[in-house]
Structure 1
Amino acid sequence: MSDELLERRYRRLLAVYPWEHRRAYEEEMVAVLLDGARPGQTRPDTADVIDLIGRGLRARARVGVCQFTEPAWADAAAITGLLATLLLLAAAAEDLTDRLVPNPDVLPYAQPTGADLLDWLQVAGWFAVVLAALIGWRLIAGGLAWAAVAAWGILVGRNLLDQPGFTVSTLPQLALALVAATALTVPAAPRRAVSVLGVRRLVVLVLAPLAGTAVFELSRLSDADYDLVGPVPVYVFYGLLAARSETLLWLYVAGLAAVALALLVSLVTLAPPVRVRILVALSPLAALALVMDGLHTWPGAVVPLRLDEAALLVLAPLTTFLTGALLVRRREETRRLVALGRAAERE
């Protein structure tokens, strides 16, 4: 009876190992552990518990890392890295345009200051990353993206205590930069994103963010509440778009919807394993947006973040990605086992 109880407890501990490892070695490991047990022993020794859990977690980590070298993950990473850098380039271009092309209807004291060297560097830097990714210089593209992440830490992250609201408001761009840098670091064949996308999807992927930027800029140039004569009516769409006539506002909305639809179609038509992984790679951005919406921060806020809020901002995106990757792996492994079972039944 004691041997059966000890065996059950050892098998529970072995559940920490990946199922592939258990399928190959579980019986052998259980036999060795039972042979080394003391007479009448009913519980695993503390040393055995620590050793089994440690080795099991390391085995799971190795399996988890290896899965990201699979062709589907490599293809998804190449496309995700290119898409993220294109979005960052569009955002940097929009910020630069805001400073170079002021709204003529905005009073002079409310106009933004002119562009500085940092504004130009952002555009030039992300353009260089996009160009390197398209040419196939993966190491250069990844290195530049990580340099941008480091620059955020130096220029913005250090102000977390003094200007928490402003720092938190920049987190979406930081998260997108982290996604780009991580995706571009995943080993892949040169110009893999171009090969997988094809010419049509690549053109859509490049033009869609720029078209969206154009829509936002046209909206910005028509959202002044006052002109040189006096107040004017302004129609607003969820704080994203604005226009002085309802018809023009809906034209902006239709243009932005067309851009989003074109981008979505270009990604949905990819192979299912690749598009699912792209969704998982981008899921941390959605998790971060939900957390930030719950925090109700604004750029001028001076109230420091609580420890639990800061932890949530970090852990929610990471947990979302890891959960998505695990679900993808489980789903595909289940399908593989079902296919093997059906093949065995036919034989």
Structure 2
Amino acid sequence: MRLDQVYRWLLACYPREYRQQYEDEMLGVLLDDAAPDQRRPAARDVLALLGGAFRAHVRQLDARLSVDAWREAAAVLGLIASLVLFARAARLPVLHLALLADGHPFGLGQEVVSWPSWLGSGVWLVVAMLAALRWSRTAAATAVCAAAFEVVRVAGEYGQYSTVFNLWPAVLAGMVPVALVVRAPGSGTAGIARWRLGLLAAATLVSVGAPSIATVAFADRWTEPVRTSWIFTVGVGQIEAILLSVGYLLFALVILSTPAVLRRRLLALVVPVGVTLLLTRLGLGTTGTFLERGTHDGVLDALTPAQGLTLVLVPALLFAVAVAVLHYRERPGSQGA
């Protein structure tokens, strides 16, 4: 392969618009600097070109995400995500209160006082209220504390059980302060019609009350001796799983019913969460998967460095792909516009 062909192959790593403007000029400079009998690019030139391509993609991604449609989508995501995380954290405290109201023989010094759950649910509720009131910066600062709490929780679970089953809430929590800190044209509620706000409220109430309804209301009519894993969490019975499914489907319906421009961006923004969910459910199992993990005394083996990098890089890469595909589809004159 000739030297100019190698350089063109490396320049192909740059964004299309960047190549159209600078490729010929860059190729000319590279060939002028090459030795007369040089057949391969120097290592420093390869690293410089690849580093420049990475920076060009980052700048392009930042430019694409800075338009008003993306900013509006970020504000809406901040509100919906904080409500999802509130619903997830509030299920246990509400269940404890329901059991106490039902006369369950619960010791106050035991599981009723679950301060991490109370604290987590309270902070996420505050974040959602601040986001709805357009106090985005204050909401983002509060969300940083809540996200740090989620990261600590995941680290504690991993340290004890080597499990990443509940990693997706930490990923979603990490996205909330980033989404809220963006200066949007309006609040999260501005991009959602009133009836969708009603759906959000219904989704939150159903998700929060799922364990209480399943445990208290159906206690005498439905026996659930076996509690198993559900796609989003562990240790749920059949009635609770059904109610949680309804709640999460209502959250999804809010996103899917938004105008097309907003909906596409919201779906792109949740790609890292969805990919993380799939990887931790399908890819990081115990047998027969491309990221197989063994067990020792019933506890999953620790992640290998390659598996850890996969959990970080694959969601980020697919998010970049989703943004690029969306940009291509909406480009003037494209078939998908």
TM-score class normalised by the smaller sequence: 0.7 to 0.9
What residue is the counterpart of 1:246 in the other structure?
Answer: none
C-alpha offsets along residues 97-149 of structure 1, whole Å, 9 cap, x if unaligned?
Answer: 1222327597768x962224433322321121011101111111111111112
Q: SS of 2:41's equivalent?
A: coil
Equivalent position amino acid for 1:330 in 2:
V
Which sections of structure 1, spanning at least 5 residues, go unmatched?
Answer: 244-248, 343-347
Match of 1:74 among 53, 71, 74: 71
> In the alignment, does 2:220 pair up with 1:220?
no
Q: What is the TM-score of this pair, normalised by structure 1?
A: 0.76
| Distance in 2 (alpha carbons) for counterparts of 1:97 and 1:16 | 52
What residue is the counterpart of 2:281 in the other structure?
Answer: 293
C-alpha offsets along residues 165-192 of structure 1, whole Å, 9 cap, x if unaligned?
Answer: 5x6454333223123233223332341x
Equivalent position amino acid for 1:329 in 2:
A
Match of 2:204 among 206, 209, 213: 209
Aligned alpha-carbon RMSD (Å)? 3.7
| Distance in 2 (alpha carbons) for counterparts of 1:57 and 1:242 | 47
| Distance in 1 (alpha carbons) for counterparts of 2:151 and 2:327 | 38
Q: Which stretch of structure 1 is more off in the superposition, 46-55 or 150-159?
A: 150-159
> In the alignment, does 2:22 pair up with 1:25?
yes
> In the alignment, does 2:136 pair up with 1:138?
yes
What residue is the counterpart of 2:289 in the other structure?
Answer: none
Change (3 A) 1:124 1:68: same
Match of 1:332 among 321, 327, 330: 327
| Distance in 1 (alpha carbons) for counterparts of 2:245 and 2:114 | 32
Is the 1:222–1:242 contact (alpha carbons within 8 Å) kept by the matching residues of 2?
Answer: no
| Distance in 2 (alpha carbons) for counterparts of 1:238 and 1:160 | 20
| Distance in 1 (alpha carbons) for counterparts of 2:190 and 2:147 | 27
Is the 2:87–2:208 contact (alpha carbons within 8 Å) kept by the matching residues of 1?
Answer: yes
C-alpha offsets along residues 76-107 of structure 1, whole Å, 9 cap, x if unaligned?
Answer: 22111111110111122211112223275977
| Distance in 2 (alpha carbons) for counterparts of 1:155 and 1:238 | 21
Equivalent position amino acid for 2:32 in 1:
D
Identity %, equivalent residues: 28
Once the 2 structures are TM-superposed, how far is the Cα of residue 197 of structure 1 from its aligned partner?
0.9
Task: State how 1:129-278 maps to structure 2 within 5 Å.
Answer: 129-154=127-152, 157-158=155-156, 160-161=158-159, 163-164=160-161, 168-191=164-187, 193-222=188-217, 233-234=223-224, 242=237, 253=242, 259-278=247-266
> In the alignment, does 2:121 pair up with 1:123?
yes
Change (3 A) 1:70 1:326: farther
| Distance in 1 (alpha carbons) for counterparts of 2:314 and 2:139 | 26
Is the 2:69–2:261 contact (alpha carbons within 8 Å) kept by the matching residues of 1?
Answer: yes
Once the 2 structures are TM-superposed, how far is the Cα of residue 337 of structure 1 from its aligned partner?
5.8
| Distance in 1 (alpha carbons) for counterparts of 2:50 and 2:316 | 23
What residue is the counterpart of 2:46 in the other structure?
Answer: 49
Q: What is the TM-score of this pair, normalised by structure 2?
A: 0.78
Change (3 A) 1:151 1:261: closer
C-alpha offsets along residues 205-239 of structure 1, whole Å, 9 cap, x if unaligned?
Answer: 23312123223321122565xx8xxx984487976
Equivalent position amino acid for 2:322 in 1:
L
Q: SS of 2:14's equivalent?
A: coil
